Amino acid sequence: MKHHVGFIGGGNMGTAIISRIYRHYAVAVCEKDPAKAKVLKRKYRVDNKELPDLVKQSDIVILAVKPQDSPWVLAEVGGSFTKDKVLISIAAGLTTGFLEKGLPPGARVVRTMPNMPAVIAEGMTALCGGRNTRAADIRTAREIFKHVGATEVVDEQWMDAVTAVSGSGPAYVFLFAECLMNAAASLGLDPKLSRQLVCQTLQGSVHLLLDSEEEASGLRARVTSKGGTTQAAMDVFDKYKIQTVFTRALGAAERRARQLRQ
């Protein structure tokens, strides 16, 4: 029997997940923006429903709204949320305890953090359960998110750090690619060629890292010949303390994840 999966919110991440699972589950959505709802209906045959109806007709409810919108959404969901249902949240920063407080006693909650490559089934999703969550609920959540990439169950204490690393991580990669392309253009290279050089280099390097038993530091050292061109670039990265920049950036993202539930 197919699970009935109801999405509260059809934003970027909600739509990314819907696009990969709508053939495998009975999917519906509650989306307040008529234009977004129309696109979801046209592309994925997903009906738009009022929130109480969506919750009543779904055995799995996916909370895909902005964290700041979650209190009033949970309050509206509460009256229709029975113990036979599971709430899966993709909202950054919201703990299982926070979600449970907004739902009837005994609510089964799974907290997740997917990321943007879910749209091409190359995402990374971390999951953790709440006080009332059953092992079967985690398995069900993993089955859903396996359609959008890899999954990993973690202790909830690490979810804010996961959010900083993989949840926000694609933006760091895109920033790095953007900087490389701009720097390549500054050397006089054609923009189209610059994009090809950067994208294939990133793709090949990631595949090499995945296939190698060496750590990233070892592979980096093998590319960096003493006194060579790569070393000249590395000296500049070291001068501007690129490791410190990354550490501070991820620390800021983790703190912001904690702030979102306050």
CA distance 193 to 197: 6
- Look at residues 108, 139, 160 and tell me which one is the last residue of a structural domain: 160
The predicted structure's pLDDT at residue 139: 97
Domain end call among 143, 160, 177:
160
For residues 135 and 209, membership in a common domain is answered with no
Structural domain span for residue 234: 169-259
The single residue listed with the structure tokens 């589950």 is: 25
The answer to whether residues 134 and 195 belong to one domain is: no
Residues 6 or more apart in contact with residue 169 via CB below 8 angstroms: 115, 124
pLDDT at 1: 64
Do 110 and 8 belong to one domain? yes
Residues 117, 173: one domain? no
Residues of the chain with pLDDT under 50: none
* pLDDT of 130: 96
Length of the chain: 262
Cα 25 to Cα 143: distance, rounded to the nearest angstrom: 11
pLDDT of res. 39:
95
137 lies in the same domain as 253? no
Q: Are strands 60-63 and 86-89 parallel, antiparallel or unpaired?
A: parallel
Q: Strand (E) positions, the chain?
A: 4-8, 26-30, 47-48, 60-63, 86-89, 108-113, 123-129, 149-153
Report yes or no on whether pTM surpasses 0.85.
yes
- The CATH number of the domain holding residue 147 is 3.40.50.720
- Say whether both 184 and 103 belong to one domain: no
- pLDDT at residue 161, rounded to an integer: 97
Q: 92 to each of 60, 208, 224, 248, how far by Cα in Å?
A: 19, 31, 38, 19
